[in-house]
Structure 1
Amino acid sequence: MLKGKIAFVTGCNRGIGKSVAEIFAKNGAIVYANAKTPDSLSELCGQDFCEGSIIPLYFDVSDRAATRKAFMKIMKEQGRLDCLVNNAGILVDTLITMLNRETLKEIFEVNVFAVFEMMSYASRIMSKQNSGSIINIASICGDEGGMRGQTAYSSSKGAVIALTKTAAKELGRFNVRVNSVSPGFINTDMFRSGPSDIQKQLVNGVYLNQRVGRSDEVAEVCVFLASDKSSYVNGENIRVDGFAHI
């Protein structure tokens, strides 16, 4: 579905980002995969994807200069960018009574400000080529609110959803589509880091086999949004949550 497409995916060293990079490559895309930790993508990039491939880009998405350099590298080597997936994000649980500005800033730097800047660079390229798909990984917390201690995280993901919808209106005239994907309870390090009793309680509230989702189930939705099969899908926030309620 993505044969020959050039994609840029952030936060690929684990979880959803890793699955997105892997499945994109299996679908024939040339994937520039980002991770913060050097050499953390060696195993992923070493796989044989036949027509697709994964090229590592090690940098912190909150580093604006490094972000610009990454886009310049892609354009120098490929001359275009067909898809951007903003997946990198952090979760810091802090009750609102204990939340300080430094923690709030840390979360928004990665979850919101970095997404703004990635989209800004990508939109300039895609507008000129009159094509492209931007996919932002949000969360069901972004439109329903999160659990206790997740005021900062849920508000950052709410900002991503609002950003997605507004950018879709701005960029649609250039044939650039912007959509977000909101995962529910997915079997990732982020979900498993919570208390086991809370995890069980959350999964019991899922209306599809009462199970956590898999990262590849989120990645397959991203494949659809990156492909030409979603050519009339713009400004949507697609939940991948088994119909869960927080």
Structure 2
Amino acid sequence: MRDMLLKDKVVIVTGAASGIGAAVAHRYASSGARVAVVDINKVGAEKVRKNLVNNESHRTFYCDLAEPSQCSAVVADVLEWAGRVDVLVNSAAYLERKQIDDVDVDFMNRTVAINMTGPFFLARACAKIMKSQGWGRIILFSSQGAYTGGYNGSAVYAMTKAGIIALVKSLAREYAADGITVNSVAPAGANTQMLHGGMSPEDVADFIDKIPMGRLAQPEEIAEACEFLASDRAGYITGHTLDVNGGMLMR
């Protein structure tokens, strides 16, 4: 039987209607947490919630990360529902391939809003609550593209994911004395619709060829890393970006 590393913790997981976010929601629920399943796709989020362990202990919330006011509001809604917020995992992201010469202001603003601005306001709203509790875990998502520049057509996405690494360090430093750790997870590529929807089969095959382990990560493997970072076992780790990349980038 697995240790209940997150027993009775209240966790917010964004992007939880599918992919990595859904896997994190399942992992956390199985680890004893109460999960706020947050997504812009509330129908998909509700489907995930119904399949969680002890599904009546969890709740679905709507949030569009492109709207900063919604980021603050959803945290307030979770606090009203559960009475506390212990862990934030922001896995929601926006990825659309576009060559640099084709990037317009609207595309830039939307990508930055969802991938950087939204996580900033989510983290800040959660940290205010966590400070009063004297304990908290904030986990944001970066990417190996933050180090490599990403693949062809992903310059803006890679830029935002590099920004997440800097944001994590700033948050970690500012909130360390309050009992809050802030870290990020940087996958190389996960076997999700988001990846397959943004790359051709040929590009996916070429991508896998660059991974020493010869395969994409399963979402559940990334969820395991998130479980560790949210637990007391990672209590002395903060400001860190954890690579979950099959050896694609060794640093």
Pair in the same fold by TM > 0.5: yes
1:129 deviation in Å? Answer: 1.3
Identify, as 1 or 2, the structure richer in helix.
Answer: 2
Aligned to 2:200: 195
Q: Return structure 1 stretches of 4+ with deviation > 3 angstroms.
A: 50-53
Secondary structure of 1:33's counterpart equals: strand
Spell out, residue by residue over 1:33-61, the C-alpha distance to the aligned partner (whole angstroms, 9 max, x if none): 11112322232212351498431001212
Render the CA deviation track for 1:126-174: whole Å, top value 9, x for unaligned. Answer: 1121110000011111122111111100000000111001111111011
- Aligned residue number for residue 151 of structure 2: 147
Task: Say if 2:41 is the partner of 1:37.
Answer: yes
The answer to whether the aligner puts 1:220 opposite 2:229 as a matched pair is no
1:173–1:52 CA distance, 2 compared to 1 (3 A): farther
One-letter identity of the residue aligned with 2:177: R
Equivalence map 1:45-194=2 (5 Å): 45-47=49-51, 49-50=53-54, 53-193=57-197, 194=199
User: Secondary structure in 2 aligned to 1:154?
Assistant: helix
For 2:35, what is the secondary structure of its paired residue?
strand
Question: Number of aligned pairs?
Answer: 245
CA distance in 2, matches of 1:52, 1:216: 22
Query: 2 CA distance for matches of 1:157 and 1:192?
Result: 19
Partner of 1:206: 211
Instruction: Provide closer, same or farther for how the CA distance between residues 199 and 51 of structure 1 changes in structure 2, counting only shifts above 3 A.
Output: closer
Alpha-carbon distance, 1:63 to partner: 2.3
- Structure 1 runs not aligned, ≥5 long: none
The letter for the 2-side match of 1:64 is P
Greater shift, 166-175 or 142-151, is seen at 142-151
Structure 2: tracts of 5 or more residues without a match: none
Percent identical? 28
- Maintained 8 Å contact 1:205/1:245: no
- Structure 1 residue 187: Cα displacement: 0.2
Which TM-score applies when normalising by structure 2? 0.93
1:17–1:48 CA distance, 2 compared to 1 (3 A): closer
Distance apart, 1:229 and its partner CA = 0.9
CA shift in 2, pair 1:137/1:53, >3 Å: farther
TM-score for both structures, normalised by structure 1: 0.95
